[in-house]
Amino acid sequence: MHLLHLALPILAWLIAIAWLFKLLEAARGLAKVPNLLADEYDLSPVNTLAVTVIVPACNEADSVAACLESLVAQDYPNLRIVVVDDRSTDQTGAIVDELACAHVKRLEALHVKILPPNWLGKTHAMAVAAGHAIATSKPEYLLFTDADIVFRCDAIRRSLAQAVATNADHFVLLPTAVAKSWGEATILAYLQVMSLWAVRPWRVSDPKATRDAIGVGAFNLIRTSAYLQLGGFEATPMEILEDLSLGRRVKRAGLRQQVASAPGLVRFHWASGISGLLNGMTKNLFAVFRFHSGPLLAAAVAIAVFCVAPVAFLALAAARFPALAALGSVVGLYVLSSRWSQISPLYAGLFPIGAALVAYSMLRSMLVTVRDGGVTWRGTFYPLAELRDYADRLP
């Protein structure tokens, strides 16, 4: 017991130092990430380069029309959109066909009826659309997005201008997640703060910072030549986290990667309520750990130690000051991230709840996937053995 009373304050100080370091690093680094809403970025590329937007859509009848209409309304002239109806069982196919007929010059609809073996639906749909676009219109850039994303009319023009100005092979615009309830805001704000531990956006452009690679499903703009150099999505047919994987592949290949923020320029509503977010994360979180339980359990313990323990340490006099220092640093990170997330920093008060919900979701993702023997997404079942075998062969 005596050793425990000695060890806990030391642990509290170590946690406080880690959070304080992250706050100071983020305060200095995030200021270096361009905000494309600034007047200086209200530009067009020097040359009007061709861009094709790829939109995979599986059972997205509720959102695909808003996405496509926002893309058709872009003020960048040399733009084509290819939407892929990926075996939808709702009205998605009819909606995209109707919009394609109304906007023949900008929008084209493809339909995938059968999923080949050893492919995930989304990666296959994007590979099909990219191959079609490259063969028919030969664009200089491809923009991969999702069917639930809404774009402001100048989003692509500003982003492409920045990509060209920085000579980026891969350009990521950080999207704005719309929170419609306190539960959604609690989880999203927590994830955005914790993402700063996974990737430092201000180091993404540094080729030496190999661990700082970024990819976002809402806005992955890549030079066509770079996409082909990487082997396209044909090189990662079974990758659930295809957006993150694309960013890592770009970085490993020594290609130039850039990132920018722009609150509200590109936005999406991930899921409705806490239950919707937890269900959405069930597919993804076990995949982050390549479907291995050990690393996931270690990460869940780390969340408990770094995110929940400081609150418990408030009850221990010897650990109270470092606990306050740690929690104060967390508040500072919420303030910093709120500048581009548009979620109130007051949600820092629910930080331990956000941590608990995400840790629960991690464990749920593992248990449900193991119990079911795989992942079911958009009506298709993918066996765990195949997903794990594929993940183990990745570099």
Quickly count: other Cβ atoms within 10 Å of residue 131's Cβ.
Answer: 13
Q: Which residues of the chain have pLDDT under 50?
A: none
**In the numeric block, which tokens belong to residue 33?**
């990430």
CA distance 230 to 255: 10
Q: Enter the pTM of the model.
A: 0.95
Q: pLDDT for 245-274, tens place per residue?
A: 999 999 999 999 999 999 999 999 998 999
What pLDDT score does 284 carry? 87
Residue 302: count other Cβ atoms within 10 Å of its Cβ. Answer: 12
For a pLDDT cut of 70, what percent of the chain falls above it?
99
Instruction: Find how far residue 122's CA is from the centre of its chain.
Output: 15
pLDDT of residue 345: 95
Residue among 26, 394, 68 at smallest CA distance from 202: 26
Our CA dihedral for 20, 24, 29, 34, rounded to 10 degrees, sits at 100
**pLDDT score at 257:** 98
320 by Cβ neighbours in 10 Å (0-12 / 13-18 / 19+) ranks as: middle
Six-digit token string for 109 = 């609809």
The answer to whether 68 and 108 have CB atoms below 8 angstroms apart is no
Residues 227-261 as b/e (b if ≥16 CB within 10 A, e otherwise) read beebebbeebbbbbbbbbbbbbbbbeeebbbbbbb
Q: Name, in order, each residue with C-beta under 8 angstroms of 267's C-beta and a sequence gap of 6 or more.
A: 149, 150, 175, 176, 177, 178
So what's the pLDDT on residue 46?
84
What pLDDT is recorded for position 377? 84
